[in-house]
Amino acid sequence: MAVSLLEKPPGCEWEHSEGSAVTATFPPTPSSTPKPEVALPASTHHQPESPFPSSEAPGSQQPHLAPPLHTAPPAPQPGSIQAIIREQCRSRLYVPPIVWTSKQPRLLGCRFAFKRMHTTRQGQRDAEKESATQQQTQQYQDRILAAAGLRGPAIASWWKLAIKDFLGACNIHPLGSHSTLPFRYGGHVVAKVKTEGIFSAGSTAPFLAYLNLETIDALREKHVCCRVGRRHSVPVATLRQKKLRSLQPRPKAADPYIVAALIALAQEQQLRSHQTAGGRAVDAQAQSASSKETEASSHEAAFFNVQVLAVPGARAQVLHVYKASIPSGFLDNLQKPSLFSPCSPILVSCWLVSLTEPEEVVEQISSLLRVPADARGQGPRPGRMVAYYRRMHDSNRAG
């Protein structure tokens, strides 16, 4: 506040001494006057409360803490697939089936067993043909003509058509136009198993797949070496070729990809059986405890019979027939990899069928695949190759 030297503000006193300046003294303002402290009663004096009650107070309880948001998953059971993967942590086991090695089937309890076929004598085969009916003889001739088509040109597309016609003559027909099987793990589809054809016999569930081992080698090379035509440096290309050589099966007939195809077929059969059982389900309360135990034991002992036909290549002179019975407990281990369901080991039996004699081919493959009889009493419609060979056969006889 500006103070004039000619007037004296109210309440101000002048102080003057010789040899010093004039000093104005102002009284303290009301705002600067200290306020006296007022003591509050003990009943109205509150201390800040803690959000948690004190544990030392009598009758107090511990606070209820919420569980953590993220809990550690339970440890996998011994013998389960996840436990095996953890034990083999230095090896890459969780990979697509196209890059499987012999280690994956071995750890899953699968192994190959190569067997020989027992041929039937010519006299016994002629006696069987004489005892057959005229319709069965016509079907038999169609199968022989289709088997003769397996010795056609060394072209992959020819093999695919010849196998389709031969199986059609045996009352085994392709299941739709798709040729890919889903491979399931942990309740999800994690990979696709590519085949040359998926077949069934009188049902919607597939039981047989056709593979060309040369095509599998090409798929494996494409997976390891990435896109065709992509350039890599010399060290990278050398490493990829080294990895590709390490994935080559020894022997070629024991390709782990065949095991994956058999497992995918069994998974598809199990899925179809569950869908069929769900459509025919009845009220569970109407069933007795004994019937439930019987169904549970039959489910545990269920087996899914699957088969694979494979050719080593377009110039092959033999046909490989693979058969396996996969228990439902094995498929449950794949469905729930952290749990373990005891099951028997899987034996993949392999037979080599020579294609030199069409009669022998029909006899051996019919006995291996257990070719079903036609339900309508009429032969199946012949394929294009069978009809072609039949016309050639009839023209030769007429000439």
- The pLDDT value given to residue 373: 47
Single-letter residue type at 312: P
Q: Is residue 386 part of a domain?
A: yes
CA-based R_g, the chain, Å: 42
Q: b or e along 62-97 (b: 16 or more beta carbons within 10 Å of the residue's beta carbon)?
A: eeeeeeeeeeeeeebbeebbbbbbeeeeeeebeeeb
Q: Is residue 68 part of a domain?
A: no
| Residue the block writes with tokens 């080593």 | 312
Helices (H), the chain: 81-87, 103-108, 122-131, 134-148, 156-169, 213-225, 234-246, 256-279, 289-300, 328-335, 358-369, 384-398
**Rounded Cα gap, residues 86 and 83, in angstroms:** 5
Residues counted in the chain: 399
User: How much is the pTM?
Assistant: 0.71
How many folded domains does the chain comprise?
1
Q: Is residue 278 part of a domain?
A: no
Kindly give, in sequence order, each residue whose CB lies less than 8 Å from that of residue 7, ignoring residues fewer than 6 positions away. none
**Rounded Cα gap, residues 257 and 310, in angstroms:** 11
**Rounded Cα gap, residues 24 and 12, in angstroms:** 6
- The pLDDT value given to residue 22: 53
Q: Is residue 150 part of a domain?
A: yes
- The pLDDT value given to residue 114: 93
- The pLDDT value given to residue 99: 94
- The pLDDT value given to residue 20: 52
SS3 content of the chain, % helix, strand, coil (to 5): 40, 15, 40
Domain span at 354: 81-227+242-273+301-398
Which residues, listed in sequence order, are joined to residue 186 by a DSSP beta bridge?
none
Q: Is residue 52 part of a domain?
A: no
- The pLDDT value given to residue 177: 80
- The pLDDT value given to residue 250: 87
Q: Is residue 24 part of a domain?
A: no
- Residues of the chain whose pLDDT is less than 70? 1-70, 118-136, 227-232, 277-301, 371-399
Q: Distance of alpha carbon 305 from its chain centroid, rounded?
A: 19
Read off the pLDDT of residues 296-308 as tens digits, 9 standing for 90 and up.
Answer: 444 444 899 999 9
Read off the pLDDT of residues 168-203 as tens digits, 9 standing for 90 and up.
Answer: 888 898 988 889 999 999 999 999 999 999 999 877
Q: Distance of alpha carbon 161 from its chain centroid, rounded?
A: 29
Q: Is residue 182 part of a domain?
A: yes
Q: Is residue 310 part of a domain?
A: yes
